[in-house]
Amino acid sequence: MIDREMKVGLMGNPNVGKSTVFNALTGMKQHTGNWPGKTVEGAVGQVVHNNIIINLYDLPGTYSLLSHSKEEEVTRDFICNEKYDAIVVVCDAVCLERNLNLALQIIGVTSNVILCVNLIDEARKKKIEIDFDKLSELLNVPVIPICGKTKEGLDELLEKLSSIENVSETKSKDEIEKLISPNIATSYIKRAEYICKKSLIFRERDYNKKDRKIDKILTNKITGIPIMILMLGIIFWITIKAANYPSEVLFSFFENIGKKLYIAFEKRGVNQWITGFLLRRRVQGFNLGYICYVATNGNIFPAVYAIRRFRGATKNCV
């Protein structure tokens, strides 16, 4: 028996695992992947817990409520225009400080906010310890550690959501814009820094030393541009030159098959018209060239090369 329905928005920075959590809770198959900006329109799914239907909205990732890109507006409009019961802010445990900026903005403009600190498995690997009680105390909202991949903590989230009884109170669009003015936005950044200082312990400060070193080299003005040119050069070389080697192998493979088939057809006295249709120069060149094209995964350069070479070679063959 269903007692009531709830409407809950999943919000957070891009690529923090919102859709992974959404899929884990609703059983749906929203697009996930390790790059930002996958969810652009949002999706709705349902989960039933304690006789309550929870309508969950997977919203596009956003860095701030004042962002103006189309997908970020979807998220802001949800807060401004919809009547909902709660907002679940999903954060990445590995870069909590950066994520808290948006969390603080949301907490500042609406009520019934729950903070989910996702990717705790990654934080554990990087020896980042989070005092979740302290975090909850400083933010003044419930904080739940979760792992979207293994579904750890999701039952606790559902339990917390189903205990919410009153509808969320939200500020209007104008009030939100006033509340997140540049001055206040700066204060959120400082507050996020303070909160993380109080509730996070990095047991291994150098956990990303190698990544930082690589970043430094790749993003440096002096080394970055030559590396980019070198990589582009390698890609061109692979496309134009190196791809010829597998093409040649493919070409001689099909050439041999073509020759053998032609001889076999002739020996068996197969109708000239059929042999011609299947194996004669132009037809054969097209058919086998097309097979080469498919076999090279649609890479046009080796395919064109194979067709050209194959046509040339069949002049001697037929």
Ligand X SMILES: Nc1nc2c(ncn2[C@@H]2O[C@H](COP(=O)(O)OP(=O)(O)OP(=O)(O)O)[C@@H](O)[C@H]2O)c(=O)[nH]1
Using CB under 5 A, pick the residue from 13, 19, 170, 314 that binds Mg ion: 19
168 binds Mg ion per the rule CB under 5 A: no
When computed from its CA atoms, the radius of gyration of the chain, rounded to whole angstroms, is: 30
Among 27, 29, 33, 50, binds ligand X (CB under 6 A): 33
87 within 8 A of 8, measured Cβ to Cβ: yes
Q: How many CB atoms lie within 10 A of CB 315?
A: 9
Q: Cα(158)–Cα(47) distance, rounded to whole angstroms?
A: 9
The answer to the question of residue 145 lying near ligand X (CB under 6 A) is no
Question: Cα–Cα distances in Å, from 180 out to 31, 174, 175, 187?
Answer: 30, 10, 9, 10
User: What sections of the chain are H helices per DSSP?
Assistant: 18-26, 70-81, 96-109, 120-125, 132-139, 154-162, 173-179, 182-199, 209-219, 221-237, 244-267, 272-279, 281-295, 300-317
* Residue 147 contacts ligand X per CB under 6 A: yes
Q: Which option in Mg ion, ligand X, none does residue 16 bind, with CB closer than 5 to 8 A by kind? A: ligand X
CB of 136 to ligand X, least distance (A): 19
Closest distance to ligand X from the beta carbon of 283 (Å): 47
Question: What does the alpha-carbon distance between residue 276 and residue 262 come to, in Å, rounded to a whole number?
Answer: 9
Pick one of Mg ion, ligand X, none as the site partner of residue 121 (Cβ within 5 to 8 A by kind): ligand X
Applying CB under 5 A, the span of 32-40, 121-129, 159-167, 251-259 interacting with Mg ion comes to 32-40
In whole angstroms, the minimum distance from the beta carbon of 145 to ligand X comes to 10
Question: Interacting stretch for ligand X, rule CB under 6 A, among 9-17, 47-55, 104-112, 277-285?
Answer: 9-17
Q: Which is nearer to Mg ion, 40 or 217 (CB)?
A: 40
Q: Please, which of residues 241-260 interact with ligand X by CB under 6 A?
A: none
Q: In this structure, which long-range contacts are made by residues 250-253, counting pairs with CB atoms below 8 Å and at least 24 apart in sequence?
A: 250/292, 250/295, 250/296, 250/302, 250/306, 251/292, 251/305, 251/306, 251/309, 251/310, 251/313
Q: Does 26 bind ligand X (CB under 6 A)?
A: no
The residue written with tokens 């999701």 in the block is 154
Which stretch, 32-40, 174-182, 256-264, 287-295, contacts ligand X (CB under 6 A)? Answer: 32-40
Distance CA 234, CA 241 (A): 10
User: Rule CB under 6 A: which of 81-140 touch ligand X?
Assistant: 118-119, 121-122
Binding site for ligand X (CB under 6 A): 12, 14-20, 32-34, 36-39, 61, 118-119, 121-122, 147-149
Binding site for Mg ion (CB under 5 A): 18-19, 38-39
